[in-house]
Structure 1
């Protein structure tokens, strides 16, 4: 059984997300996701195929950008932005991934449309230094 460190897991998540979401290299992405991948997201069909098929159905302009990534043990949380998915607003996501045998084995997420400056009660952007309508 291959055991990875939290630092290795963070690097693997960033490489996996770039490979699937930005490069759309499904064959290469298979090496990151377990063939027994468990999907907890309410908007994605079960398993690795469910995730890959969702990405295939989204516009080729889809992009993932990471802002923060933390890891403890076999878990990684990535705070990022998904753009180019064909919806009016970018999605701000907190993706939680569990690793097993060096692969992404389980996933949960929290998604929210990115707020504009007018919508932000705190007066701060949800991602980076600018608001959704200032990009």
Structure 2
């Protein structure tokens, strides 16, 4: 993959995540997620509709913050924080996406509750340069 292709895939994922998770524009989000989207997450129902229905059921304060993002071929991995989802602490996620024909075609994730400074044995935050407040 060219550098331009990797940059385009990263930009696609970031725009898709902002559109769905932050702006909650489901009509616009349909252009980013393939109609045949494959969801590997254990906590999300199958397909694009399963993902969209999950987001619709979450509180309006849901927020996604992207961090490190890398691309290799048709795959993009983004490290980010999901907050405002109604749970006591934010989730830190590594989302792995396969891009096909300019759309998100497949997804896997690894999620962890975000540790506070008091809970961090390393003394370092899990996301960004500071602990959550």
Decide: shared fold, TM above 0.5.
Answer: yes
Q: Structure 1 stretches of 5 or more lacking a match?
A: none
Mean Cα deviation higher: 120-129 or 43-52 = 120-129
Q: Secondary structure at the match of 2:56?
A: helix
Question: CA offset at residue 124 of structure 1?
Answer: 0.3
Equivalent in the alignment of 2:126: 126
Tell me if 1:82 matches 2:78: no
Deviation at 1:6, TM superposition (A): 1.4
Q: How many residues align?
A: 130
What's the counterpart of residue 101 of structure 2?
101
CA RMSD of aligned residues (A): 0.9
1:8 matched to which residue of 2?
8
> What is aligned with 1:49?
49
**Matched residue of 1:5: which SS?**
helix
Task: Name the CA distance, whole Å, in 2 between partners of 1:47 and 1:100.
Answer: 15
Give the TM-score taking structure 1 as reference length. Answer: 0.94
After the TM superposition, list the runs of 4 or more consecutive aligned residues in structure 1 that deviate by more than 3 angstroms: none
CA distance in 1, matches of 2:67, 2:121: 21
Shift of 1:11: 0.1
For residues 6 and 128 of structure 1, the distance between their equivalents in structure 2, rounded to whole angstroms, comes to 23
Q: Displacement, 1:53?
A: 0.1
TM-score, length-scaled by structure 2: 0.96
1:7 Cα deviation after fit: 1.0
Q: How far apart, in 1, do the equivalents of 2:25 and 2:125 lie?
A: 31
